[in-house]
Copies of this chain bind each other. A is one copy, B any other.
């Protein structure tokens, strides 16, 4: 990994955070009921090793809770992670990682929840990973198709990406085995992306962010002014319970973050604001 690559990646994630926050604040302006939400940003530094991040959190009238976190951290893996992370042993455990993570929990049960994460990790090797997926309480085929089509277009524009493989990976990853049910309607998921052409890989990573930033607000707008019932809200709060179960039981990013002394508030930002287990 070169300094140029570090700098390009860190700059990109910061810019993507700005762009996404602006897009979601626009949606707040278009919403109804109560004041339009605005992101609050909070910088944090990593305890122990180096680096930190900026967590942007908004509680609004369209988004009950939406968090967009960017982190740029470095340090040394020890124990189980040094063995498990590619290239970590060869680098004496040293790593550098930067990424953006967003989780949107809309107020309306008719607006799908969504998640995107894109990241660059460097040990003695350098690679990208990430994914974007949609979690509606009431799946609508046209929305699902539109979401998949946007991610397919993003993949198809880059020879280093394989939409079919990344879509299947997403379905496998965002699955709750104990309930034998998927978390949502899928999207894409990829890891260990290192084609040998860093610039090509990075261009794809950027496009995933850009595509998500266009298609998800489009889907939110489709349902922004629909009214919902108490029964639909109830179903949404139950569905959110499944989201919590997945993130705490299975999500690798969550356990990785918590076990490596990450920022707890930023990591658990993904948890929904209100949940029921009926």
Query: Which residues on A are within 8 Å of B, measured CB to CB?
Result: 65, 177-179, 241, 244-245, 248-249, 255, 258, 264, 267-268, 271-278
Cβ of A178 and Cβ of B277 under 8 Å apart?
Answer: no
Copies of this chain, complex-wide, total 2
Cβ of A255 and Cβ of B264 under 8 Å apart?
Answer: no
Known A-B contacts A268-B277, A275-B274; the reply to A249 vs B258 at CB < 8 A is yes
- Min Cβ gap A243→B in Å is 11
Q: List 19 A-B contacts (CB under 8 A).
A: A65-B277, A177-B258, A178-B258, A178-B267, A244-B244, A244-B248, A245-B248, A248-B248, A248-B249, A249-B249, A249-B255, A249-B258, A268-B277, A272-B277, A273-B276, A273-B277, A274-B275, A274-B276, A275-B276
Q: How far is the CA of A278 from the CA of B105 in the complex (A)?
A: 12
Chain B residue numbers with a CB within 8 Å of A255 are: 249
Given A178-B258, A274-B276, 12 more pairs with CB closer than 8 A: A178-B267, A241-B271, A244-B244, A244-B248, A245-B268, A249-B255, A268-B277, A272-B277, A273-B276, A274-B274, A275-B276, A275-B277
Chain B residue numbers with a CB within 8 Å of A275 are: 244, 274-277
